[in-house]
Amino acid sequence: MACKLAVVARSDLSMSAGKLAAQVGHAVHDAVTNVDPKKLEAWEEDGSMIVVLQAEGEASLVALERAAKKAGLEASDVRDEGLTEVESETFTALAIGPDLSARVDAVTGKLDVYREDPEHRALRLRAESAEA
């Protein structure tokens, strides 16, 4: 049966590509170290699909985490240390699964694949150039 791991990252934080990659990496690590070994094995045997989705704001991640846990899914939250781009303890990402794709999709299926909003990108680039 098809399995997946979904990582939902906050689009409102306008994280750089490197910061986003680090937060997704933390989420994947937490997910695979906390999940039932049988679910991990099934996910790995199915190709270890990971999808990165976006949500707007902390409230969205909190609601998704609640829904995932209610559905019996593993949910691993990532809270940043605040050393670079965001404040300490900012809820940046949430991993859901790995589990059967249909179960993960029941919680995350209406979310969009993560893409940087062009307006946020332009603002981030202006801020970075002003700091240089």
pLDDT of residue 122: 74
pLDDT 10s digits, 23-44: 999 999 999 999 999 999 999 9
Placement of tokens 């940046």 in the chain: 92
Residue from 111, 93, 125, 96 nearest 13 by CA: 93
pLDDT of residue 120: 65
Q: Could you give phi then psi for residue 23, rounded to 5 degrees? A: -65, -40
pLDDT band of residue 57 (cuts 50, 70, 90) is: very high
pTM: 0.88
Percent of the chain at pLDDT > 70 equals: 95
pLDDT 10s digits, 67-96: 999 999 999 999 999 999 999 999 999 999
Give how far Cα 72 sits from Cα of 36, 99, 100, 104, Å.
Answer: 12, 10, 12, 10
Q: What strands, in cross-sheet order, belong to the sheet with 50-55?
A: 75-79, 91-100, 3-10, 50-55, 112-113
